[in-house]
Amino acid sequence: MCTSVVLLAACGGEAEPPTPPPPAVEYHEVGREAVAFTFEFVARTRASEDTAIQARVTGNIIERNFDEGQEIEAGALMYRIDPRPYQAALASAKAELSNAKAVLDNADRNLKRGLELEPDGYISVAEMDKLRAEFDRATAAREVALAAIDNAQINLDFTELRAPFTGIAGRSNFSTGDLVGPQAGALVTLVQRDPMLVDFDVDEQALAQSMKANQARTEAGEAPIVYVPKLMLVTGDIYPQVGEIDYASNRVNPTTGTITITARFPNANDRLIPGQFARVLLQRGEAEMQLLVPQPSVLEDMQGRYVYTVNSENRVVRKNVKLGQRDGVNWVVESGLDDGDRVIVNGVQKVRPNMPVNPTPVEAMPYDTTTPAN
């Protein structure tokens, strides 16, 4: 009989290979955290006020009282057009009014004399009709003169172009000395950037469901769900100011089946510029405690999404899960997991159901830039 491994081999026996140790895996113990349900939309910023300053009268610019890119206070003078032709027109209109008043006073006196003579028959009916007609023409002439003064005064006022609201001036398209008029186009644009408006499109069905849910809450005496918009800039940074829903469009876009929603954001520091792209993160109500699972631990096959967990005997258990929205590097778990389940995060590619494993808690979540050291 062989007495050693070598002799056993020589005798034709085979030594059984040692059992490999259970594979090492890292797990994350799932728990609940405060999560606010958010919906993400592509958006574009828009100035709350945006106007083109145009000349209403024709003339040469004699003053430009602002710098391009400067903030202009509401009512501040921006351009002055040569007022002299319009001052002369106003003076002429006033002179015409004086003449019209003199004619009217004379017509009034003649009519009064005729009315005194009429009862005694000292004046004919035809002459009385003539006096009345002269009085009426003089009265109308005075009204025309008054309207001419108003028109001349309006034109004179239009020689001063003032800011209709506080805003930022753009590039001036005309310089001092240029001849401008109603057909000249925009002299300059003025935009109001605080607050800033942000437009984004919402599916009409989703909006209808939201409105229906809030109507039901109102009828039940409950407070409606408040949607709070936040803004993610193209850099990935979250804009520090929280906005508020301003209004929804009064019609559905028939091409896309969406409704444009407008949110209003404070912009005192002018960080937001009209026309830039961003993303609106629309938070639904207050944050709620939700069960979270790391995204890297979620797998998917023909049966749907699932995760591998480690039970009390350190064996692998597959659990099918129903997931909700994303929250950072996590998924919200709607069903399939319980608090305290140990979900395998690292090593999922080398395990199978019911396989024994050597589990250790994960120290840093995948795709998370933070580590225990910092």
pTM above 0.85, yes or no: no
The proportion of the chain whose per-residue pLDDT surpasses 70, expressed as a percent, equals 93
Amino acid letter, 55? A
Domains of the chain (ranges, CATH numbers): 24-35+289-361 (2.40.420.20), 38-47+193-288 (2.40.30.170), 56-76+166-184 (no CATH), 84-157 (1.10.287.470)
- pLDDT tens for 208-257 read 888 888 888 888 888 888 889 999 998 888 999 999 998 888 888 888 88
Question: Residue 207 — very low, low, confident or very high, per pLDDT cuts 50/70/90?
Answer: confident
| Cβ neighbours of residue 61 closer than 8 Å, sequence gap 6 or more | 79, 80, 81, 82, 174, 175, 176, 177, 178, 180
Dihedral of CA atoms 182, 197, 269, 369 in degrees, nearest 10, equals: -140
